[in-house]
Structure 1
Amino acid sequence: MATIFIDPDTCSKCGTCLQICPMGLILKGEERIPFMPDEAGAFCSKCGNCESFCPEGAIYPEYGTRYPEIAEEVKPGITPGALGIYMRQRRSVRNYLSKMADRETIEEILDIVRYSPSGMNNQPVHWLIIHDPEKVRRLTRITIDWMRSLMNSDVQHPLKPVIPSLIAAYESGKDPICRGAPHVAVAHAAAANPIAFTDSIIALTWFELAAPAFGLGACWAGFLKIAASSCQELKEELGLPEGHEVQYAMMFGYPKYKVCSIPGREPARITWK
């Protein structure tokens, strides 16, 4: 079954959809009206390119995910300068207020993030949000316990040189794993999906970039991700669906400190040919 409907009364026969479909599934029909053959529907990735680029709005999805129309007068007009400042101000936030983000705010961010690119529009990323700060602290405790066991074993692990300092920080009352963040976002997906990790990293990057617009800040939880790959207790605590694994994790919450300036960076390393 075809996954799109093209309204012949609205279509201007411009041919944009024929050119924009990445799989070439849209064909020119009678009187130059484009169409998608029924048998082509099985190969459609539902990327929405045809719908997005149709200048007449003549293409409708048959799979129930159409986004509400954006009125012309409210379409965002972000200048390159404003966008550049917003993106350059992004910081990895490791100091948080105790204030919690409400679920509606987090869901609003994830509603944006679900539009992040994914290979063949596969959309493999699932989300586990650890919203309860006490449960976040438990993740830290389990990770530290795993590190203690690792140090007492003969297993060769690249983290071993830094583990003593992490354990010492924890024992002094600090949180070197989740940095005292009230929340953690875990991107997980089927372990058998070869591109799930890349798609999850892209999605988490969108999450981190969108968060400041909602007053939040985030930081990549690398130690938690590494532990979740090996520690059985941590896997059980997370309780992911059968066959899924942690792709990466991110701590987040309201920043304790305000970004006041943009730090320097090395110039872009570009080779032109």
Structure 2
Amino acid sequence: MVDFTVDEGKCIGCGQCVADCPLSLLEMRDGIPLLARRKQQFCIGCLHCFAVCDEAALSILGHDPLQAKEISRDLLPKPAQMEMLIRGRRSIRNYQNRNLAPELIDDLLDTAWQAPTGRNVRGLLFSVVDDKAVLADIRQEMLAEIQRLDEGGLIDEDYSAFAKFPSAWEEGYDVLFCKAPHLLVVSAADDLPTPMQDAVIAMTTFELYAQSHGVGTLWDGLATIALRDLVPAMQKRLGIPEGHHLCYAMCFGYPALHYARMASRDHARVERVR
């Protein structure tokens, strides 16, 4: 049974919650919104009804509108600010050798968790390495395993480039993690309707919010391949449970370099349909 409560002393009967329910589960009865018992099983917990109520009259699934942060239009970024954020973003491969504050990492993760998911299932898992010393240990374990596989002739030709990573590290090059202090790995439950889409949206949200805090990121395809195909046992250390599969990895930390201008790009390739 869905906990759906309306404060009739506050409700003005505007019907916004009824109009905005994605599955049309709400109805007006005697000027008050109602979630009929026969429809409760279909509620996906999206909280649209909760968020759209101007009067803070509606509670659902234990969420109290008085405890929720109100949206301030004055705090929303202007288009020029969003353009600067998006077009000024760069993949960071040079990082400062210091940890982010734990409070900042928590804020980045909590905000990324608000990203939309298919059917609002919210079945992702964020595995985060929040200490550079831990990531250093993980790097060493992965490189040692890659070297063992190479020496045993167990690396497929498609992954032959990875065999050079241990020697590259000895020469001072961190091909796997670019000497970043932190790593985010997103995994998804196997039964999600849109697992990869959910992960990519969440990680894009993470990186844009991180950028606003001066934190750089890198979509780490090499680490993703290594964790998925070469050193899958490392997924256990990352806390990825049975019934989940790894989607993607992202390095992050304070950049050691700063960019002076946006990269010049060609115009978008667009096919206008008439």
Task: Please give the TM-score of this superposition, normalised by the length of structure 1.
Answer: 0.88
Q: Is the 8 A contact 1:217 1:255 kept in 2?
A: yes
Q: Is the 8 A contact 2:95 2:180 kept in 1?
A: yes
Work out the percentage of aligned pairs sharing the same amino acid. 28
CA distance in 2, matches of 1:265, 1:196: 30
Tell me the equivalent position of 2:11: 11
Tell me the equivalent position of 2:23: 23
Letter in 2 for 1:28: M
Total equivalences in the alignment = 270
Tell me the equivalent position of 2:158: 158
Q: Aligned to 1:127, what secondary structure does the other structure show? A: strand
Letter in 1 for 2:198: D
Tell me the equivalent position of 1:269: 269
- Correspondence list, 1:59-138, <5 A: 59-64=58-63, 68-70=68-70, 75-138=74-137
Q: Is the 8 A contact 2:127 2:239 kept in 1?
A: no
Shift of 1:155: 6.1
Letter in 2 for 1:159: Y
CA distance in 1, matches of 2:76, 2:101: 28
Tell me the equivalent position of 2:244: 244
Change (3 A) 1:56 1:237: closer
Tell me the equivalent position of 2:254: 254
CA distance in 2, matches of 1:70, 1:194: 31
Aligned-residue CA RMSD (Å): 2.4
Shift of 1:19: 2.0
Shift of 1:63: 2.6
Change (3 A) 1:71 1:219: closer
Letter in 2 for 1:242: E
Q: Which structure 2 residue ranges, 5 or more long, are not aligned?
A: none
Q: Is the 8 A contact 1:151 1:163 kept in 2?
A: no
Task: Please give the TM-score of this superposition, normalised by the length of structure 2.
Answer: 0.88
Shift of 1:195: 2.0
CA distance in 2, matches of 1:271, 1:65: 46
CA distance in 1, matches of 2:13, 2:121: 29
Q: Is the 8 A contact 1:8 1:33 kept in 2?
A: yes
Tell me the equivalent position of 2:214: 215
Q: Which structure 1 residue ranges, 5 or more long, are not aligned?
A: none
Q: Is the 8 A contact 2:118 2:194 kept in 1?
A: yes
Change (3 A) 1:272 1:9: farther
Q: Aligned to 1:46, what secondary structure does the other structure show? A: coil
Change (3 A) 1:96 1:155: closer
Q: Is the 8 A contact 2:189 2:244 kept in 1?
A: yes
Q: Is the 8 A contact 2:18 2:27 kept in 1?
A: yes
- Correspondence list, 1:175-214, <5 A: 175-214=174-213
CA distance in 2, matches of 1:23, 1:151: 57
Q: Is the 8 A contact 2:17 2:53 kept in 1?
A: yes
Shift of 1:147: 3.9
Shift of 1:165: 4.8
Q: Is the 8 A contact 1:3 1:44 kept in 2?
A: no
**Structure 1 stretch displaced more, 168-177 or 85-94:** 168-177
CA deviation vs aligned residue, 1:173-206 (integer Å, no higher than 9, x gap): 2110000011111112323434222211111111
Letter in 2 for 1:190: A
Letter in 2 for 1:19: A
CA distance in 1, matches of 2:152, 2:168: 18
Q: Is the 8 A contact 1:222 1:249 kept in 2?
A: yes
Shift of 1:252: 0.7
